Copies of this chain bind each other. A is one copy, B any other.
């Protein structure tokens, strides 16, 4: 096990890498050329425009004001300065509450760390159990942990008392935070402007009717059953194919633009492409002509499909968005059961238009039930048996495997240097690729389950990922061996034995987790702020595709919080903090640094970068709460197991009280707060309705809602690519590069991300 010195070394290395990331960020963010990468939110909001419209060309690309470099750390206090109400206004409640998760981490762990260091560390340190054992190599870290207390010692009373204190403190913090978030949500909903979703209910599983179309059936049903409040409805078209066509066309457009740009730069040779997959094989044709023809073809298809969807009655799915005269009417309809058959006429509060996941609006009940079963089984196998296919791929990816499939590579591979790379690298990369792809796989699984909004997809996927992390990262690190081996081990062990097995291993893994926190937590967050991938992609797109201001808008990928990826990872830190608080408190400062740093970075990001795809008014908070509770209960059970191996098995009943109380606390909070995250209370609906009636008595709601819930592909297309940029004049920053390159003859192709090299040369002309 690692000693304190090892930890210090690891910490230093990680701190240095974090520092490197931060310095790179501090430098890049000041460069006007990267402005759209690091401040896209302000562009989207229209507050910021391409900076420094006049002045020397150099200044438009590189920041020459050296005074600003001296204040490179300024972004940190700036990120914290914006008060929360303004932040909610600016970035939405989802984002503002998301950063509160980190704040919650700080609120829970700072006092716990103080207490643990004041009480438990001295008690552990003077335990001197490890001094007596000669044949075990122990480190200084262990002297601060519970391992140093001799078995059966009365000192464990302190640990048990602290477990109580930590539990109560965590529950108290959770309760307070739940209350705050609920209040904020209610305030947010109350203050919100008029939104289509306030008046609208999503109706699914409209039963088929032989005499009426879906639209007529919906109209009649709601005219009868919500006579006083029904206003109108919008049917849902099955436009999935159409949406695919539009998407494909967009890609083809990009390619054509790319080749056109190449041709403009080098008019001597018309660019060629191959017609096969990814342009890798097939007949060699003129690229611009090919793509123009392809676009023509797809234009025809699109028009035909559009025609078909609008006219074919089968293209209407048995679902509709039904709007009401008042919020009260919508709230009533969303919360009540319409038919005595609970699998038809399903109503739910409509997600806001951009939050609708259109593909899933038309799944019948039985199919949905079967799909959910299949996904649950798949999830089980994915969690516990994912190592089997990975191991198979790893064996394939060995020297022998490659030689078998690609015999012609044999001579290359057999060289000593390549061989060592393949052997050392490939097996790891298979696992790494899987882990990177995992959230996407889980998201695909959630989509199969038929959820109808992006927010619910995110939440469901986060739940799956959380399970995976607990099983494979937390337990997987503590008990070595693949998950299915653990499973087998657990099944063949007494239930009371499991916490013991895991509990014993916990103090020994403290140093591993400290390193993990530094690598995955600290460095990961620092990488987040630098936005390497969007940075590269933006410059690539900017160089090859961007022609108009609108193109540049599109190239600017603001991204957003990937809730389903990041939230389960945060939960791991909560889990680690709670588990180790009583066992090895030395881990707590590392977690606190993570939470503080992440809070800072994400607050900066949501202010300056992220553009959330939808706004769900913090409806994810019940999940956060539940998962922290799960972590808390796991920590209590594991401490129970650990202490029972320490000769104080009498502590078990004392500690057993804690999970019971915690479960009860969770149920209490659920009853107290959760429904505020699920339903629109009638009282609030009436207040908003009354207010609106008083202030806007002449509002034409029907016109307002008219096409709020049409599928995005049917939305009127904005006039496309007409306003070309008046080059050199209005938007000198990026176009300069392109035009000046043209002046240079621009012979260097265009497929390399060379903008970094090119631009200074141009400016220095």
Contact = CB atoms under 8 A, between A and B. Distances in A.
A621 to B, nearest CB: 14
Contacts of A342: 671-676
Given A491-B494, A491-B495, A494-B494, A671 B369 contact: yes
A41 B13 CA distance: 87
A707 interface: no
Interface string A333-345: 0011111111101
Nearest to A496: B491
Interface string A296-337: 000000000000000000000000000000001001100111
A337 B672 contact: no
Interface string A656-696: 00001000100110011111100111111010000000000
A505 interface: no
Contacts of A332: 332, 336
Residue among A337, A376, A492 with the highest chain B CB neighbour number at 10 A: A337
Nearest to A667: B369
A338 B681 contact: yes
Contacts of A420: none
Copies in the complex: 2
B365 A679 contact: no
A168 to B, nearest CB: 16
Contact of A337 (B338, B660, B682): B682
Contacts of A369: 664, 667-668, 671
B339 A683 contact: yes
Nearest to A221: B683
A133 interface: no
A493 interface: yes
A328 B228 CA distance: 12
A224 interface: yes
Contact of A335 (B335, B339, B365, B492): B335
Residue among A340, A680, A686 with the highest chain B CB neighbour number at 10 A: A340
A9 interface: no
A225 B496 CA distance: 53
Contact of A681 (B337, B377, B673, B676): B337
Nearest to A331: B336
Contact of A340 (B494, B660, B681): B681
A683 B496 contact: no
Contacts of A345: 683
A350 to B, nearest CB: 16
A426 interface: no
A671 B365 contact: yes
A79 interface: no
A243 interface: no
A340 B683 contact: yes
Contacts of A339: 681, 683
Given A225-B686, A495-B495, A373 B673 contact: no
Contacts of A221: 683
Given A335-B335, A342-B671, A342-B672, A683 B225 contact: yes
A34 interface: no
Contacts of A673: 342
Nearest to A341: B676
Interface in A363-418: 365-366, 369, 373, 376-377
Given A667-B369, A682-B225, A675 B337 contact: yes
Contacts of A491: 494-496
A338 B674 contact: no
Nearest to A185: B340
A650 to B, nearest CB: 15
Interface string A457-498: 000000000000000000000000000000000111111110
A186 interface: yes
Contacts of A675: 337, 342
Contacts of A365: 671-672
A337 B373 contact: no
Contacts of A680: 337
Contacts of A671: 342-343, 365, 369
A586 B345 CA distance: 48
Given A365-B672, A491-B495, A671-B365, A683 B338 contact: yes
A349 B369 CA distance: 29
A289 B267 CA distance: 125
Given A336-B336, A342-B671, 11 more contacts: A186-B340, A224-B686, A332-B336, A335-B335, A340-B683, A341-B676, A342-B672, A342-B673, A343-B672, A492-B494, A492-B497
22 contacts: A221-B683, A224-B683, A224-B686, A225-B683, A335-B335, A337-B681, A337-B682, A338-B681, A338-B683, A340-B676, A340-B683, A342-B671, A365-B671, A365-B672, A369-B671, A376-B664, A490-B495, A492-B494, A492-B496, A493-B494, A494-B497, A495-B495
